[in-house]
Chain A
Amino acid sequence: MTNTNSLRTQIESDIAAADTLDALEAIRVGAIGKKGTVSALMKTLGKMTPEERQVEGPKLNALKRDVADAITARKAVLEEEALSAQLASERVDATLPVDLPPQGTIHPVSQVMDELAEIFADMGFAVAEGPEIEDEFHNFDALNIPAHHPARAMHDTFYFPEKEDGSRMLLRTHTSPVQIRTMLNNEPPIRIIAPGKTYRSDSDATHTPMFHQVEGLVIEEGIHMGHLKGCIEAFVKAFFEVDDVKMRLRTSFFPFTEPSAEMDIGCCWDKGTLKVGAGDDWLEILGCGMVHPRVLAACNLDPERYQGFAFGCGIDRLAMLKYGMTDLRPFFDGDQRWLSHYGFSPFEMPTLSGGLS
């Protein structure tokens, strides 16, 4: 009996003293392994009388079980200690700075074009495009701007050298030629916007020789000036993201619309920031009108049957008004600091559900 007890005491103290997993394993093998001390005692059970066995059996089994439990418990402790030591050794300085992957930007003009596409898609407008080097027919003649009209001279047109037949190509002075191309190639009903680059030989803080315009065109039976008003009012509210906007239309002149009008929106300066939509000042924002019967006729449409409206406005200017740039020239300089500041994250895709800005 003493034998069993002293063995138990010995093994338990060994387990407690084991400080590595290997030492613990050696104790396990030495105690309950095939040739272990406890296993050796277990073997003696076979030679005992049934009475002896009835007494010694449970004791030895209890010893074996207790030793196994003690080893498992000790093993868990040692494993925990080993992991802690490993983790401590793996410690890094989490305050070291990391570099984020570079994040590029979308140019404000592209962003505004996407906003326009979104707003006008909701009103059923497709996005149309056209060449930037145009001919005089599409840029002027078909738009009811005859050769000697003062309006033509006022366009500050960039020309290419005269061809042998006397004709000249030019850089389009407005996006209106896309109207012509659209009407010549499509049957009404037509609803398009045509954003794109335009060119005039003019340069100062608010004029660059290249700039961006968006043109709108609706040709359907029964469309009148009231629809034009409704359309551009909806556009201005959606674009500037305001519920109400103070606006006025005033009669104006464009050779390719009759009647013609210009739209102003109310604005004011608040602590150096321009606020759009309300206030006592007026900001000219777009030109518009009912498509001139001569323009319709030039595009082989019967002015007696079809009528519609067109409007045009500067995209760069829209961007400046909405996002607060004060100088147009940096738009085309490619200064990465300016682009980072005024550009948009590629993930800020304007949508009607997510918002336009």
Chain B
Amino acid sequence: MKFTLDWLKSHLETDATVDEICAALTDIGLEVEGVEDPAAKFADFTIAHVTGAVKHPDADKLRVCTVETKDGTKQIVCGAPNARAGMVAVYAPVGAYVPGIDVTLSKAKIRGVESFGMLCSESELELSDEHDGIMDLDAGPEVGLPVAELLGLTDPVIDIAITPDRADCLGVRGIARDLAARGIGTLKPYEIPQIEGEGDAGRTVFLEFEDDANAPCPFFAGRKVSGITNGAAPEWMQRRLNAIGSKPISALVDITNYVSFDLGRPLHVFDAAKLSGNVGARLAKEGETLDALNEKSYTLTNAMTAIVDDSGVIGLGGVMGGEPTSVTAETTDVFIESAYFDPARTGHTGRALSLESDARYRFERGVDPAFVEDGLAVATQYVLDLCGGTPSKVVTAGDAPLRRHVIAFDPAHVGRLTGLDVSSHEAVAELEKLGFCIEGDDAPYSVHVPEWRADIDGSADLVEEVMRLKGLDAVPTVPLPRAPGVAKPTLSLQQRRERALRRTLAATGLHEAITYAFIGEEDAAAFLGSAEPIALANAISSDMTTMRPSLLPGLLRAAKRNLDRGLASVSLFEIGRVFLGSGPNDQPVQAAAILAGKTGIRNWNAAAGPYDSFDAKTAALQGLKALGAPVDKLQVFADISGDTPGETYHPGQAGELRLGPKNTLARFGLLHPKIAKAFGLDGPIAMAEWMIEGAPKPKAAGSTTKAPITLETLQPVERDFAFIVKTDVPAQSLVRAIQGADKAAITNVSVFDRYEGTGLEPGYVSLGVCVTLQPRGASFTDEDLEKIAAKIIAAAQKSADATLRT
């Protein structure tokens, strides 16, 4: 919402400076977004007198002028045909920025003649499109007079942001009222003209709504003014409209715009001669059309309020009028309409048609329902003053939808809610300044809300009114009461786990990325399996249509971008929600990591190859450990199942880590080559996923004490075995079998060698296993060790069909 200082002062008696006014506006909730000083643009331009103008010695169309300027006598080469001695011109010195040609002037030599500055045309100053010659001003202004002053461009334009609740400040008078209440001056009285009118309006007005409730348009008023002349609006009105960016059109149109900006009251003017029959409002019929004033045609629905006459739709209630019935320079009889349109329906209509207008902006926020006829009177007076003519009597239909809202208010609420120390008397006085009427001798008072304040709902709203007038600086700064002692931890188990996982993965060399939670339809499909995609109804781009069913596609796209930028090694992870459904419990937090490109940079003592599935497995296990999952109890399953179909991973180089047969805590492996291809990725991509929420809760510990530890004094012993097993026997089953062979003695089992080839039957593999044995109390005797070895061999035989390699 823009207005000029001069315009504001037409409602507000004040000596306050622009800065003071702006500070107050911002503080009371009318945030100043900018103050534009129109003089600033013309600061460099001053009046000059041309005392001589002779033809350029080497150019027929150029003149060499002698100019008296604020900087002394200057020689300026000018190309304008009208440059002549004795003229009053506009001078721009060297160094000035000329907006119309986007040039900063420098000293120039034009065809051998030096030129110091420029004499400007109106277009060069962006005052008009006139560029046939330089400005040729009437005699009078002294040399050095700022052009802005001459043009009267000294009125600052203030631009404020109006929050959606403050419809009352969509007119300059509402802003003046707020400022006056704040103590910035006095609100000038505004006299509503009393115009009786003579004769009938030539037509009646009507409301035609099915249930007679008239909710979409409860009140409709109009009047004719006959015998007018629709010329140009007066200079003062044009200047104000121009200043706020509303292009003056004709007196009648400008009057409606002016009343709208001045008083927040939108109106419409019809050329009475172009109307047929009575005028009224009803819901549009499906498919009715309107050729609107903005030269576009709109097709209406039955949810929209139409203004109609016998010919059909002539306007879109609260939004825009129609072109065929609009006023023109030839209009002699005008029909002025002032009505109240329902905010919700007006907003809906505007959004449905993508049609913005100053009227819609006001109606959808709620105009003052008590000002419908007053607005009509104000507009009529302007028409009579500016266009002449004879007014008819006013015709109306329906009733003004007054709220007559009364709030029971105890001023003590102000202190309770804001901490402000405000007396009952002060609180009431502040409200009265804003136009509230207070009834009663004691709290709770009956506070009558002015009709222009549709935003005031209850007592808390009144508290805000008092608070904003007192100023938020007056609200005391009070520390939040805090519990005695040291602050307690506040994170949930899940939050602590996410944090541990995040920092662990970063510590192992992965970079945390955050990618968009919506991805392209095809990217999602590759990870959906049989699940239904969750697609947006109003996506803004084709690569952001579908909620991600997995974190992997987003990371793969990021990996691709990184590889395309020439990075040799990409290692990324992300922790965030995936969307398996739209219910609150179908959006679990997961984590995923990808390793793409080379394992590192080539180094003299380390090779850098592609990542493999065991890099992914390492990451998966490190992550699970950070999550506090019981890593040694997990089973590795070589098949990928569950929500993600097997096709996501390389079928032979992937696994799932499960706690029990069904609770998958992590997956790891290589990306399936088909998906790699679809994402434009070359080479193996290792990846891991963590189903964070599946990690079991630790048993509730009653104490921070850990179980006591027995530190054996005897050294552990290592024994190596080589077992031959079929290649399809998972190493895990051999290791598990050996671990279980003598739980008291065996503390660790590791696989140190894997061999297949010469010396072994095809289909068989030799696994070298190192078993660590811990003697307890007494050293192992040879006999003890033999017994344990026998148990190991037997268990390996039984569970993994393994034979000792001899």
A residues adjacent to B (C-beta < 8 A):
96-99, 101-107, 109-110, 114, 117, 120-127, 129-133, 147-151, 153-154, 158-162, 168-169, 171, 191, 197, 199, 201, 203, 209-210, 218, 223-227, 229-231, 233-234, 248-253, 258-262, 290, 292-294, 307, 331-337, 339-340, 343, 345-347, 349
Q: Could you list 17 A-B pairs, sorted by A, with CB under 8 Å?
A: A102-B600, A104-B510, A127-B495, A131-B583, A148-B343, A149-B164, A169-B582, A224-B415, A226-B419, A234-B479, A253-B165, A258-B461, A259-B463, A261-B472, A262-B31, A290-B460, A337-B565
Task: Report yes or no: B537 in contact with A159, Cβ–Cβ below 8 A.
Answer: yes
Residue of B nearest to A126 (CB): B490
Q: Is B153 positioned at the interface, with any CB of A under 8 Å from its CB? A: no
Task: Report yes or no: B416 in contact with A307, Cβ–Cβ below 8 A.
Answer: yes
Residue of B nearest to A234 (CB): B479
CA distance A91 to B270 in the complex (A): 101
CA distance A109 to B512 in the complex (A): 10
Residues from 562 to 580 in B contacting A, C-beta threshold 8 Å: 562, 565, 567, 569-573, 575-577, 579
- A-B residue pair count with CB separations less than 8 angstroms: 275
Total chain B interface residues with beta-carbon distance under 8 A = 107
Query: Which residue of the partner chain, among A229, A262, A337, contacts B478 with CB atoms under 8 Å?
Result: A229
Task: Report yes or no: B163 in contact with A224, Cβ–Cβ below 8 A.
Answer: no
Residues of B within 8 A of A339 (CB): 511-513, 572
Q: Is B558 positioned at the interface, with any CB of A under 8 Å from its CB? A: yes
CA distance A259 to B345 in the complex (A): 27
Residue of A nearest to B602 (CB): A99
Task: Report yes or no: B418 in contact with A340, Cβ–Cβ below 8 A.
Answer: no
User: Nearest Cβ distance between residue B514 and chain A, in whole angstroms?
Assistant: 5
Task: Report yes or no: B26 in contact with A121, Cβ–Cβ below 8 A.
Answer: no
Residues from 289 to 344 in B contacting A, C-beta threshold 8 Å: 343-344
Q: Known contacts A96-B604, A148-B344; is A224 also within 8 Å of B364 by CB? A: no
Residues of A within 8 A of B575 (CB): 110
Query: Which residue of the partner chain, among B343, B504, B555, B603, contacts A99 with CB atoms under 8 Å?
Result: B603
Stretch at the interface among B393-401, B480-488, B667-675, B778-786: B480-488
Task: Report yes or no: A160 in contact with B502, Cβ–Cβ below 8 A.
Answer: no
Task: Report yes or no: A133 in contact with B460, Cβ–Cβ below 8 A.
Answer: no
Residue of B nearest to A159 (CB): B537
Q: Known contacts A96-B604, A154-B164; is A209 also within 8 Å of B537 by CB? A: no
Residues of A within 8 A of B489 (CB): 121
Query: Which residue of the partner chain, among B163, B476, B514, contacts A226 with CB atoms under 8 Å?
Result: B476
Q: Is B194 positioned at the interface, with any CB of A under 8 Å from its CB? A: no
Q: Fill in one digit per residue for B156-184: 1 if any A CB lies within 8 Å of its CB, else 0.
A: 00000001111000000000000000000
CA distance A234 to B477 in the complex (A): 10
Residue of A nearest to B594 (CB): A334
Task: Report yes or no: B512 in contact with A106, Cβ–Cβ below 8 A.
Answer: yes
Task: Report yes or no: B416 in contact with A151, Cβ–Cβ below 8 A.
Answer: no
CA distance A318 to B207 in the complex (A): 53
| CB-based closest 7 A-B pairs | A334-B558, A102-B509, A226-B419, A148-B344, A251-B29, A259-B464, A253-B163
Residues of A within 8 A of B535 (CB): 160-161
Task: Report yes or no: A251 in contact with B467, Cβ–Cβ below 8 A.
Answer: yes
Query: Which residue of the partner chain, among B364, B417, B547, B567, contacts A133 with CB atoms under 8 Å?
Result: B547
Residue of B nearest to A233 (CB): B477
Task: Report yes or no: B472 in contact with A250, Cβ–Cβ below 8 A.
Answer: yes
Task: Report yes or no: A150 in contact with B164, Cβ–Cβ below 8 A.
Answer: yes
Task: Report yes or no: B499 in contact with A114, Cβ–Cβ below 8 A.
Answer: yes
Q: Known contacts A96-B604, A259-B468, A340-B511; is A249 also within 8 Å of B582 by CB? A: no
Q: Known contacts A159-B537, A234-B479, A251-B464; is A104 also within 8 Å of B512 by CB? A: yes
Task: Report yes or no: A159 in contact with B538, Cβ–Cβ below 8 A.
Answer: yes
Q: Is B540 positioned at the interface, with any CB of A under 8 Å from its CB? A: yes
Q: Is B365 positioned at the interface, with any CB of A under 8 Å from its CB? A: yes
With most chain B CB atoms within 10 A of its CB, the pick from A98, A114, A169, A346 is A346
Q: Is B94 positioned at the interface, with any CB of A under 8 Å from its CB? A: no
Task: Report yes or no: A252 in contact with B163, Cβ–Cβ below 8 A.
Answer: yes
Q: Is B237 positioned at the interface, with any CB of A under 8 Å from its CB? A: no
Task: Report yes or no: B480 in contact with A132, Cβ–Cβ below 8 A.
Answer: no
Q: Is B534 positioned at the interface, with any CB of A under 8 Å from its CB? A: yes
Q: Is B117 positioned at the interface, with any CB of A under 8 Å from its CB? A: no
Residues of B within 8 A of A158 (CB): 518, 536, 538-539
Q: Is B793 positioned at the interface, with any CB of A under 8 Å from its CB? A: no
Residues of A within 8 A of B348 (CB): 148
Task: Report yes or no: B511 in contact with A209, Cβ–Cβ below 8 A.
Answer: no
CA distance A347 to B541 in the complex (A): 38
Residues of A within 8 A of B505 (CB): 104
User: Nearest Cβ distance between residue B490 and chain A, in whole angstroms?
Assistant: 4
Besides A97-B604, A160-B582, A197-B517, 7 more A-B contacts (Cβ < 8 Å) are A107-B513, A121-B489, A209-B544, A226-B475, A259-B463, A339-B511, A343-B512
Q: Known contacts A127-B490, A132-B517, A201-B538; is A104 also within 8 Å of B507 by CB? A: yes
Task: Report yes or no: B571 in contact with A122, Cβ–Cβ below 8 A.
Answer: no
Q: Is B506 positioned at the interface, with any CB of A under 8 Å from its CB? A: yes
Task: Report yes or no: B584 in contact with A130, Cβ–Cβ below 8 A.
Answer: yes
Q: Fill in one digit per residue for B228-241: 1 if any A CB lies within 8 Å of its CB, else 0.
A: 00000000000000
Task: Report yes or no: A259 in contact with B460, Cβ–Cβ below 8 A.
Answer: yes
Residues of A within 8 A of B145 (CB): none
Task: Report yes or no: B600 in contact with A230, Cβ–Cβ below 8 A.
Answer: no
CA distance A332 to B518 in the complex (A): 12
User: Nearest Cβ distance between residue A330 and chain B, in whole angstroms?
Assistant: 11
Task: Report yes or no: B458 in contact with A293, Cβ–Cβ below 8 A.
Answer: yes
Task: Report yes or no: B463 in contact with A332, Cβ–Cβ below 8 A.
Answer: no
CA distance A307 to B417 in the complex (A): 8
Q: Known contacts A123-B482, A159-B536, A334-B558; is A153 also within 8 Å of B517 by CB? A: no
CA distance A343 to B571 in the complex (A): 14
Residue of B nearest to A161 (CB): B537
Task: Report yes or no: A225 in contact with B570, Cβ–Cβ below 8 A.
Answer: no
Q: Is B516 positioned at the interface, with any CB of A under 8 Å from its CB? A: yes
User: Nearest Cβ distance between residue B497 and chain A, in whole angstroms?
Assistant: 13
Residues of A within 8 A of B677 (CB): none
Q: Is B508 positioned at the interface, with any CB of A under 8 Å from its CB? A: yes
CA distance A290 to B583 in the complex (A): 30
Q: Is B515 positioned at the interface, with any CB of A under 8 Å from its CB? A: yes
Residues of B within 8 A of A101 (CB): 509
Query: Which residue of the partner chain, among B463, B511, B584, contacts A105 with CB atoms under 8 Å?
Result: B511
Residues of A within 8 A of B510 (CB): 104
CA distance A308 to B706 in the complex (A): 42
Residues of B within 8 A of A127 (CB): 490-492, 495
Residues of B within 8 A of A209 (CB): 516, 518, 540, 544
Q: Known contacts A99-B601, A226-B475, A229-B476; is A336 also within 8 Å of B540 by CB? A: no
User: Nearest Cβ distance between residue A335 and chain B, in whole angstroms?
Assistant: 7
Residue of A nearest to B483 (CB): A124
Task: Report yes or no: A97 in contact with B516, Cβ–Cβ below 8 A.
Answer: no
Residues of B within 8 A of A96 (CB): 604-605
Task: Report yes or no: B163 in contact with A125, Cβ–Cβ below 8 A.
Answer: no
Task: Report yes or no: B571 in contact with A102, Cβ–Cβ below 8 A.
Answer: yes
User: Nearest Cβ distance between residue A356 and chain B, in whole angstroms?
Assistant: 15
Residues of A within 8 A of B579 (CB): 132-133
Q: Is B27 positioned at the interface, with any CB of A under 8 Å from its CB? A: yes
Residue of A nearest to B463 (CB): A259
Q: Known contacts A131-B587, A225-B419; is A106 also within 8 Å of B502 by CB? A: yes
Residues of A within 8 A of B343 (CB): 148, 150
Residues of B within 8 A of A292 (CB): 460
Task: Report yes or no: B347 in contact with A336, Cβ–Cβ below 8 A.
Answer: no
User: Nearest Cβ distance between residue B336 and chain A, in whole angstroms?
Assistant: 27
Task: Report yes or no: B537 in contact with A160, Cβ–Cβ below 8 A.
Answer: yes
Q: Is B28 positioned at the interface, with any CB of A under 8 Å from its CB? A: yes
Task: Report yes or no: A226 in contact with B418, Cβ–Cβ below 8 A.
Answer: yes
Task: Report yes or no: A218 in contact with B347, Cβ–Cβ below 8 A.
Answer: no
User: Nearest Cβ distance between residue A287 and chain B, in whole angstroms?
Assistant: 11
Q: Is B503 positioned at the interface, with any CB of A under 8 Å from its CB? A: yes
Residue of A nearest to B547 (CB): A133
Q: Is B606 positioned at the interface, with any CB of A under 8 Å from its CB? A: yes
Residues of B within 8 A of A218 (CB): 480
Task: Report yes or no: B26 in contact with A259, Cβ–Cβ below 8 A.
Answer: no
Q: Known contacts A104-B506, A148-B347, A249-B472; is A332 also within 8 Å of B31 by CB? A: no
